[in-house]
């Protein structure tokens, strides 16, 4: 056995007050008539009820489910009937209500066990984790962190630390568990080591629990497992904090920010380990826990194994409490617990102690005085913070400086408040400041989100406006184009009737009469004369330079001379023929033209053309359906018109 232990920085030594509740063995609480089982007993999102009012449920049957490892399943603690699913006062520091399933017990306490995994040392990790998750096992030491989530780390774990320190005054639930059920705890150590693949277990127990140490050691010797080492640690508050116990047992400090798994270490509270073991080896869901009842106003202080959902009043009565002497009811210990007033609240998985002190025993704190900067808090702080600096920053609302001074490493153990000679409720300031900082961060995130949405909206509105302008411009351009097209179309229309046009032209020509013909022949003569002159010049230059082209050019000159002579002799030959009856000729020409045009515009071609137009119209309409739904109607009517035309053309062709 290794007995090397390391010293915890800081810490305080409040009166232990553990002897009162360890005089009696663990008692059973019995089955209450009505159980109120809240859906949010753990850290993380609440579970969702999966039963309905009127359903009969069995002990261990799942009544609240979740789909994430960050939350935990909730089970019925005894058999009975669901009588309500509603918001009920919750066992929580806030005193706010929580959604709860209310079960009226039938007194039969009928189990519905999950199949036991007897050969768990052969089972694979996922099966075991799934079972721990489904059994609703959460940290029973007080934090309520879902065990499956903690155990499902992907880091390489070499050491399991069992937390049996239980440093807070008055609380003896873990101590009694270790004393009475040591064999089960050793088995649960083996199970968790198997699950994590850890090589060894360091089992830390404070030296104020000699019976527990003896019982665990005896069970260990009987079991004969060398990989589990019980390490007795000196009693100091808060040695039971996870980071503190790791520091005491291994000398290593958990990095900030970080988790113990970064060091290859996972810590579990003994009660949590036992709950996990029972879930796997026996198939029992986490439906009960051991709770300490202590304080001077409790007649028979003791530990009680109680079903989750049992009203506190039943426990108090079972332990003969004296309401007249009770000053207040504290859930948890005197250092970290919270006060409640309503005794009808249910016991939940994290309720490790019910402390009912008298006024003399735990007097209410005197009014806070001014900080005298004595520094006792800094000496007491187990995480080496500067509590008085944090106090000033907290009062001044200086969030940046609080974070610079590592406020979020504060474990809220209350050692500073305990040691403060001015009775300043330091931890309360830190808790409030932590919440304020988280709130401020959430607000900043929300503001950033709102800003993005606002900017996105502005961008969208601007884009729409631009699109509108562009559309307007496009429409105007389209209208203009249409107008132009209409104009050219009407111009073409005139040409469509070539006969008429030709008649007009011919008429005007005829009106011009022979003058035009004479002019024409004169023009022709001039032209020919010009060409002749040019040809002659070319011939002359060719003769001087290159004799090859001379015959060709000579021929051309001769031809032109001849033509010129002809033109001079018969000035109106060509035009005279046309002038004989230009109207008639034009009519003839036009008729020929129309015949030529009409031939290709046969019905078949017409249909093809229409089909083409229809296809493009349909395509346009489809595009419009996506991009401009408001114009869809217009496109659809265009398609309809074309279809009509096409049908008409087909009918015509059929004729």
Partner 1 sequence: MIEFITANPLLAALFALVGLSLIFGAVLGFASERFKTEGDPITDQICDLLPQTQCGQCGYPGCRPYAEAIAEGERINRCPPGGEATIQALANLLDTEVLPLDEDVGEEKPKSVAVIREDECIGCTKCIQACPVDAILGSAKHMHTVIASECTGCDLCVEPCPVDCIDMVEIPVTLKNWHWQNPAKANDIIATDGGQA
Pick left, alpha or beta for residue 560 (phi over 0 → left; psi -120 to 50 → alpha; otherwise beta).
alpha
Q: Which stretch binds partner 1 (CB under 8 A): 56-64, 234-242, 431-439, 479-487?
A: 431-439
Question: CB 367 → partner 1: shortest distance, Å?
Answer: 6
Angle made by CA atoms 508, 511, 516, in degrees to the nearest 5:
90
Angle made by CA atoms 455, 459, 465, in degrees to the nearest 5:
145
Identify the residue among 36, 98, 378, 535 touching partner 1 (CB under 8 A): 98
Q: Cα–Cα distance between 581 and 588 in angstroms, integer?
A: 11
Beta pairing, strands 265-269 & 97-105: unpaired
List the structure tokens of 144: 């309520």
Identify the residue among 451, 463, 480, 482 touching partner 1 (CB under 8 A): 451
Q: Which of 265, 294, 268 is nearest to 168 (CA)?
A: 294
3-state secondary structure of 21: helix
List the structure tokens of 129: 């984790």
Q: Which stretch binds partner 1 (CB under 8 A): 144-152, 233-241, 432-440, 582-590?
A: 432-440
Question: CB 47 → partner 1: shortest distance, Å?
Answer: 13
Q: Cα–Cα distance between 245 and 542 in angstroms, integer?
A: 121
- Binding positions for partner 1, 337-396, rule CB under 8 A: 366-370, 394
Tell me: does residue 121 bind partner 1 (CB under 8 A): no
Residue 271 has, within 13 A of its CA and on its CB side, a CA count of 27
Question: CB 412 → partner 1: shortest distance, Å?
Answer: 9
Question: CB 71 → partner 1: shortest distance, Å?
Answer: 13
**Do residues 281 and 120 lie in contact, with contact meaning Cβ atoms separated by under 8 Å?**
yes
Question: Nearer Cβ to partner 1, position 106 or 436?
Answer: 436
- Total number of residues binding partner 1 (CB under 8 A)? 40
Instruction: Mark 70-101 as b/e (b = at least 16 C-beta within 10 Å).
Output: ebbbbbbbbbbebeebeebbbbbeeeeebbbb
Q: What mask of x and - would describe binding to partner 1 in positions 74 to 93, judged by CB under 8 A?
A: ----------------x-xx
Tell me: does residue 491 bind partner 1 (CB under 8 A): no
**Do residues 75 and 136 lie in contact, with contact meaning Cβ atoms separated by under 8 Å?**
yes
Identify the residue among 219, 429, 528, 586 touching partner 1 (CB under 8 A): 429
Q: Which of 206, 277, 202, 265 is nearest to 237 (CA)?
A: 206
From the DSSP assignment, how many helices (H) and strands (E) are in the chain? 20, 17
Tell me: does residue 94 bind partner 1 (CB under 8 A): yes
**Do residues 188 and 258 lie in contact, with contact meaning Cβ atoms separated by under 8 Å?**
no
Q: Which stretch binds partner 1 (CB under 8 A): 258-266, 301-309, 316-324, 426-434?
A: 426-434
Identify the residue among 7, 359, 446, 612 touching partner 1 (CB under 8 A): 446
- Binding positions for partner 1, 9-68, rule CB under 8 A: 40, 46
Q: Which stretch binds partner 1 (CB under 8 A): 253-261, 262-270, 318-326, 445-453?
A: 445-453
List the structure tokens of 92: 């929580």
Identify the residue among 432, 476, 478, 552 touching partner 1 (CB under 8 A): 432
Identify the residue among 2, 320, 339, 439 touching partner 1 (CB under 8 A): 439
Binding site for partner 1 (CB under 8 A): 40, 46, 90, 92-94, 96, 98, 366-370, 394, 397, 424-425, 428-429, 431-436, 438-440, 443-444, 446-451, 453-454, 456-457
């Amino acid at each position: 056995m290794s007995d090397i232990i390391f010293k915890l920085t800081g810490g305080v030594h409040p009166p232990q007050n553990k002897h009162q509740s360890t005089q009696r063995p663990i008692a059973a609480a019995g089955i209450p008539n009505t159980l109120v089982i809240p859906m949010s007993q753990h850290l993380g999102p609440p579970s969702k009820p999966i039963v309905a009012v009127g359903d009969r449920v069995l002990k261990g049957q799942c009544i609240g489910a979740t789909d994430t490892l960050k939350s935990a399943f909730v089970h019925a603690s005894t058999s009975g009937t669901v009588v309500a699913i509603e918001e009920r006062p919750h066992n929580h520091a806030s005193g706010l209500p929580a959604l709860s399933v209310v079960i009226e017990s039938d007194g039969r306490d009928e189990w519905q066990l999950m199949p036991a995994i007897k050969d768990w040392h052969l089972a694979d990790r996922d099966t075991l984790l799934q079972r721990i998750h489904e059994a609703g096992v959460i940290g029973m030491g007080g934090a309520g962190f879902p065990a499956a989530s903690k155990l499902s780390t992907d880091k390489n774990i070499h050491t399991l630390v069992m937390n049996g320190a239980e440093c807070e005054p008055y609380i003896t639930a873990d101590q009694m568990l270790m004393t009475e059920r040591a064999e089960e705890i050793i088995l649960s150590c083996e199970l968790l080591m198997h699950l994590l693949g850890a090589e060894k277990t360091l089992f830390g127990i404070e030296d104020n629990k000699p019976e527990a140490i003896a019982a665990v050691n005896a069970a260990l010797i009987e079991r004969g497992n060398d990989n589990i080492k019980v390490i007795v640690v000196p009693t100091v508050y808060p040695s039971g904090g996870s980071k503190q116990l790791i520091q005491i047992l291994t000398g290593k400090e958990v990095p900030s920010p970080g988790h113990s798994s970064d060091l290859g270490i996972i810590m579990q509270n003994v009660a949590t380990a036992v709950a996990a073991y029972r879930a796997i080896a026996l198939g029992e869901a986490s439906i009960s826990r051991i709770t300490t009842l202590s304080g001077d106003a409790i007649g028979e202080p003791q530990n009680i194994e109680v079903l989750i959902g049992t009203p506190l009043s039943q426990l108090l009565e079972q332990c003969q409490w004296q309401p007249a002497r009770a000053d207040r009811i504290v859930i948890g210990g005197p250092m970290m617990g919270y006060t409640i007033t309503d005794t009808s609240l249910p016991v939940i998985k994290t309720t490790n102690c019910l402390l009912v002190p008298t006024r003399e025993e735990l007097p209410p704190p005197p009014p806070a005085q001014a900080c005298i900067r004595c520094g006792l808090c800094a000496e007491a702080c187990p995480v080496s913070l500067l509590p008085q600096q944090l106090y000033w920053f907290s009062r001044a609302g200086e969030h940046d400086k609080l974070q610079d001074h590592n406020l979020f490493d504060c474990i809220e153990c209350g050692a500073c408040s305990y040691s403060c000679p001015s009775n300043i409720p330091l931890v309360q300031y830190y808790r409030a400041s932590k919440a304020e900082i988280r709130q401020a961060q959430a607000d900043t995130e929300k503001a950033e989100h709102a800003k993005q949405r606002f900017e996105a909206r502005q961008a969208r509105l601007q884009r729409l406006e631009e699109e509108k302008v562009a559309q307007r411009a496009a429409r105007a351009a389209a209208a203009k184009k249409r107008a132009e097209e209409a104009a050219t179309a009407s111009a073409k229309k005139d040409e469509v009737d070539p006969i008429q046009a030709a008649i007009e032209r011919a008429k005007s020509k005829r009106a011009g009469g022979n003058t035009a013909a004479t002019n024409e022949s004169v023009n022709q003569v001039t032209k020919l004369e010009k060409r002749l002159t040019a040809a002659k010049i070319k011939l002359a230059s060719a003769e001087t330079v290159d004799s090859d082209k001379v015959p060709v050019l000579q021929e051309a000159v001769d031809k032109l001379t001849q033509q010129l002579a002809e033109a001079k002799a018969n000035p109106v030959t060509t035009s005279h023929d046309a002038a004989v009856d230009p109207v008639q000729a034009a009519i003839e020409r036009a008729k020929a033209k129309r015949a030529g045009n009409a031939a290709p515009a046969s019905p078949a071609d017409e249909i093809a053309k229409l089909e083409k137009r229809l296809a493009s119209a349909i395509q346009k309409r489809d595009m419009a359906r996506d991009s401009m739904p408001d114009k869809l109607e217009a496109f659809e009517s265009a398609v309809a018109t074309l279809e009509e035309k096409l049908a008409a053309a087909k009918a015509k062709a059929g004729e």
